[in-house]
Chain A
Amino acid sequence: MPKRGCLGCSFPLIIGVLLVLLALFVVGFAAGPLGKSMLGDLGLPSWLSVPRPDPKLPAEVVFHIFGFPITNSIVAAWITIIFLVGFSYVVTRRMKLIPGRLQAAFEFLIGWLYDLCCSVAGEKNGRRFFPVVTTIFLFVGFNAWLALLPGFGSITIHTINGEAELFRAANTDINMPLALALTSFVFVEFFGLRSLGIRYLSKFLNFGAFISGVKLVFKGKVKDSIFGLFTGVITIFTGLLEGLSEFIRIVSLTFRLFGNMTAGEILLLVAAFLIPWLFALPFYGLELLIGFIQAIIFGGLTLIFLTLAVQSHEEEAH
């Protein structure tokens, strides 16, 4: 006779777990400030509630190395780097033809990113862009997920300026997204210059049409020269717009990542403060998803910009 149940557990167990969760939720609601304002103070012990969150926008300095201030977000970024390097070493140390579970998972992730690069940028360029895009993806994603580990933000340390958190998600410090966006910008310009050479700059400084218009003036063709000068001015203007939009990309990449991550952090803190314990759980799921999505967006937009940069104007026109 097959065992009846749900998710591999028997019904009494499921009902028991649900009851415990419901009890936790009710106790959290009664102990939190939301319940207190609705139900009045029920005299519950103070350890049931969460202290009022105090989010700070600039990262706090934890310690100094040779007079160089090290903030808590730098520490978190270092941990991410150490984790990624160590993890990659462990996975690739003994590669097998028939992969184990860990190797298979990592191969799936890398293979998926590789297919993404190739499908957007084409086979040849996809191979070249893959390391940049994957590094950005893994760094942003693991940074976001590292900050969701329980207890990550609650370890405090004594500093000169008082109590400070030892770790803080690196993406919530605006310097980290800015640094990533600048890295992405540098790679875009590098690949553009490398594959198109000096022609890449003609996207931004396009005087060719204007000069040919000036030449027409000297030839004495009035109607053609006016038209030529007009299109020349237009192409110079669009070139300037092109250059301007390169810089706006940096700002928009920076603020997208910073805004999403900081908002998520504050959302979790406020949710845990208003109704302690169980209420923050769905938001944890949401933040897991958002961390992954932001990683895809940052890596993928870098990939799109790289693809745009290596296309020449002549190719685009057709």
Chain B
Amino acid sequence: MSRWGAALRFIGVGWFIGISILLGVVGGLWLDNKFGTKPILVIVGLILGLIVAFYGVYRMLLPLMRGK
């Protein structure tokens, strides 16, 4: 793993977290308004977004954690 690879991975992580949580919440809100199930789908979307964010970060930083 070169220094550039490590730096680029760290740069990519920040926006990835933000966008995945945002998409989950916005998608949940949209579906809630469509089906009239006000709080449930927002929470589901938020949790799904958080899981995707953590999993994506884990996958992107996995080579660094192994110290390759």
Residues of chain A at the chain B interface (Cβ within 8 Å) = 116, 119-120, 238, 241-242, 244-245, 248-249, 251-252, 255-256, 297, 300-301, 303-304, 307-308, 316
Contacts and interface: CB of A to CB of B under 8 A. Distances in A.
Given A297-B8, A307-B5, 5 more contacts: A241-B56, A245-B52, A248-B23, A248-B52, A303-B8
Interface residues of B, number: 20
25 contacts: A116-B4, A119-B2, A119-B5, A120-B4, A238-B55, A241-B51, A241-B52, A241-B55, A241-B56, A242-B59, A245-B52, A245-B59, A248-B20, A248-B23, A249-B16, A252-B12, A252-B18, A256-B15, A297-B12, A300-B4, A300-B11, A301-B11, A301-B12, A303-B8, A304-B60
Nearest to A299: B8
A123 B35 CA distance: 52
Contacts of A252: 12, 15-16, 18-20
A242 B60 CA distance: 11
Contact of A304 (B5, B18, B20, B55): B5
A301 B8 contact: yes
Q: Chain B: interface secondary structure?
A: helix
Contacts of A307: 5
Q: Among A116, A301, A307, find the residue whose CB has the most chain B CB atoms closer than 10 A.
A: A301
Q: Chain A: interface secondary structure?
A: helix
A241 B55 CA distance: 7
Interface in B29-68: 51-52, 55-56, 59-60, 62
B20 A245 contact: yes
Nearest 6 pairs of A and B residues by beta carbon: A119-B2, A300-B8, A252-B19, A245-B56, A120-B5, A252-B15
Contacts of A255: 15, 19
Contacts of A242: 55, 59
A248 B19 contact: yes
A244 B52 contact: yes
Given A119-B4, A248-B20, A252-B16, A297 B11 contact: yes
Given A119-B4, A248-B16, A301-B11, A316 B52 contact: no
